[in-house]
Amino acid sequence: MQKELVSILACPRCRGELTLEEVRQSRGTRILSGTLKCRECSGCYPVEAGIPRLVEAEPDVQTIGRRFEFEWVSRWMGGFEGAARCHGMDLGEYVGWQKDRLAEHSTLAPGDRILDAGCGSGEKAAMLARMCPRQTVVGLDLGLASLEKAAERYGEIENVNYVQGNILQPPLRWNSFRWGISIGVLHHTPDTRRAFAMFRKLLVDDPGVLVYLYRPLREAPEWRACYIMRDVFFLGQSPKLPPGFLRLFCLTTVGLTFPLGLFIWRRHGRRMNKELPFYDTGKMTLRDSYWALVFHLFDLLLPHYQFRHKSSEVEAWFREEGLEMAFQAHCFYLGRPAQRTHKGETAYAAATSSR
């Protein structure tokens, strides 16, 4: 991590200010090994392999982190798609689309920060850092092993930092980021609304926001086959199965049904590509399509929590958080600042604080 990152880190237990207590190994301005200490509760947190380990989480949340860690480490080791694609999408085109859409509604200034909350394998955060060289990108995730792989691969990119932490108890200071991105993460927490509120608090008053949240079946026909597999075939019990078994199941199932799966995949792809230009199934080889289908199915069967929210529900959350919807399509929601309002306790936060 860069030394300057310490200025926006917070204790995940008490939200106190963290200071750099010890530096054991560094490279230029990047701290590779050391210790962070909280001024308030005196809690100490290690920095190893350039990653501050700032996790405070309930056992069920830690389990979610471990299961997703299996997914991303397997991908790093070649167990799923190649490095150039994720969920079938060309990563360069996908991250470029994110950047361009956010820039339409929220202009970055030199020194601004971008948060990738739930950065998974860390590749998208690294690509975004290269596209935004005058800003700092922070990738936050529960999975440590995948972050270590990312830090090892992208350690030469000076403006990207990876932090191990829990979005429900974020180890980052409020109002620290101009752009906030969270793709397919918040709905895998015990409380999506609370996770969204914590995510919003990390952003400035007038941010750019891009999130991906599962929609129910009627609003997301592209997920129909995977939803049926989880809800009907596995009766919702797939999260209790070992990740290795689920991966083997997905490899076999997609292989046996590939012609049908490919037909459905490309049909939905043509429809989605009208609004999401990076999502072009026609450009994918048969191999690309096979691995994308495997990864989609595995990703949906894996986690314990998987909430699906109506678009009207998510729109209400945005309004409560002082945002308005600039764009939505196929589970993507792009938010921009609503008319200038004081950002204090939101309706949700006020309600929960009185409980």
- Inform me whether the pLDDT recorded for 352 exceeds 70: no
Structure confidence at residue 231 (pLDDT): 97
**CB-based contacts of 100: which residues, under 8 Å, 6+ apart?**
none
The domain ranges of the chain are: 1-54
Both tokens assigned to 238: 């797939």
- Inform me whether the pLDDT recorded for 350 exceeds 80: no
- Inform me whether the pLDDT recorded for 312 exceeds 60: yes
Q: What is the pLDDT of residues 5-62, one digit of tens each?
A: 999 999 999 999 999 999 999 998 899 999 999 999 999 999 999 999 999 989 989 9
Q: How confident is the model at residue 340 (pLDDT cuts 50, 70, 90)?
A: low
Q: What is the pLDDT of residues 222-264, one digit of tens each?
A: 999 999 999 999 999 999 999 999 999 999 999 999 999 999 9
Given CA atoms 302, 299, 153, 131 in this order, what sign does their dihedral have?
A: negative
Mean pLDDT for the chain overall: 92
- Taking residues 323-351, report their average pLDDT: 73
Q: Following CA atoms 136, 127, 269, 301 in sequence, which dihedral angle do they give, to the nearest 10 degrees? A: -80
Instruction: Quote the strand ranges of 142-266, DSSP E.
Output: 160-164, 177-183, 203-212
Q: What is the pLDDT of residues 193-213, one digit of tens each?
A: 999 999 999 999 999 999 999
Q: How confident is the model at residue 345 (pLDDT cuts 50, 70, 90)?
A: very low
Q: What is the pLDDT of residues 103-137, one digit of tens each?
A: 999 999 999 999 999 999 999 999 999 999 999 99
Residue with the two structure tokens 């994110």: 98
